[in-house]
Structure 1
Amino acid sequence: MRREFPSLSSDAAAVRQRIEGMEKILERMFVIPGINKPVGLDVLLDLIPGVGTISAAALGSYIAWEARNLGMSKWQMVRMGGNIGFDMLLGAIPWIGAVPDLFFRSNTRNLRIIKRHLDKHHPHTKMIDAPPRSVP
């Protein structure tokens, strides 16, 4: 008997967990002290000219690929692709491209699109999000 790992399942709840985890790694891995701005791998990769921007876009595309497997509409997929493409254009500017990436978070935007779809079509996957902690 073959057992699948729950995290590798195509179940909507498992997909939701994976994309939320990937978004956290790409956009909110740690907080910059002093300005309390979350930063992730996406911004760090933008500091590497060329290869970093392409790598960040590829990782962001994974989220869109998971969304496609959920049966999302073509319009939603186009919006997510546009977010990834715009983020890649911003990141293509060496060093300076990381600054706008702090404010235009394509992966967070795409996660919001996916969550709306999941909440509507797979309501059993909905999780209660903890409110953000305030920093004294």
Structure 2
Amino acid sequence: MKYQIPATNEAVPAEYLRALDHTDRLARSLDSQFRLPLTKLRFGWDPIIGLVPIAGDLVGLALSLKIIASARKLGASSALLRRMTLNAWIDALAGAVPIAGPVFDLFFRANLRNVHLLMDEIRRKRAPVT
């Protein structure tokens, strides 16, 4: 896992860390698992499955919603969940546009964006109070 949870006096339960790691791995597989040779451009399964009209976009949305459900279980605030859901819907609706949609998916990366938002909230909640 790339992300670090800030240290506090509280121990982080192992199952919480496993759920967070699983969420991170799912987002990375959807948005940045592969790299185009000779470039720095990374992509994942989301733009690939988005090439299948309608069904691909629905599958991509379902996987994005799985990440949001995981964030809910991890204690994300309702405001964060709404923002994550908006990102997922933007990705799904823009991704549904033929040809331009998968290209949009390459750059918007809703799933990684949502994991970053979740990690930012976790850092804020766990930051030591001084």
Asked if Structure 1 and Structure 2 have the same fold, meaning a TM-score greater than 0.5 normalized by the shorter chain, the answer is yes
2:10: which partner in 1? none
- TM-score, normalised on structure 1? 0.78
Which residue number in structure 1 is paired with residue 117 of structure 2?
113
Partner deviation per Cα, 1:99-120 (whole Å, 9 max, x = no partner): 1111111001100111112223
Distance 1:35 1:43 in 2: 17
> AA paired with 2:27?
E
Task: Find out whether 1:55 has 2:59 as its counterpart.
Answer: yes
SS in 2 for 1:93: coil
1:11-22 equivalent positions in 2, closer than 5 A: 11-22=15-26
Once residues 37 and 45 of structure 2 are traced to their aligned partners in structure 1, the CA distance between those partners, rounded to angstroms, is 17
* Unmatched tracts of structure 2, length 5 or more: 1-12
The match for 2:43 among 39, 45, 60 is 39
Kindly provide the amino acid, as one letter, of the partner of residue 88 in structure 1.
A
8 A contact 1:48–1:95 mirrored in 2: no
Query: Residue deviations 1:41-74, cap 9 Å, x none?
Result: 0010111100000101111111100001112111
Question: Is contact 1:12-1:122 (8 Å) kept?
Answer: no
Conserved 8 A contact 1:46-1:95: no
Give the number of the structure with larger relative contact order, counting CA–CA contacts within 8 Å between residues 6 or more apart.
Answer: 2
1:104 aligns with 2:108: yes
| Offset, 1:11 | 2.6
Alignment: residue pair count = 115
The answer to whether residue 87 in structure 2 is matched with residue 83 in structure 1 is yes
Q: Equivalent residues in 2 for 1:121-132 (5 A)?
A: 121=125
- Runs (5+) with no aligned partner, structure 1: 1-8, 124-136
RMSD: 1.7
- Residue-by-residue CA offset, 1:8-67 (whole Å, 9 max, x unaligned): x98321111101110111011110123321110001011110000010111111110000
1:67 corresponds to which of 68, 71, 83: 71
Matching residue's letter, 1:11: E
Structure 1 residue 81, shift from structure 2 partner:
0.2
Amino acid corresponding to residue 57 of structure 1 in structure 2? L
* Runs of 4+ displaced beyond 6 Å: none
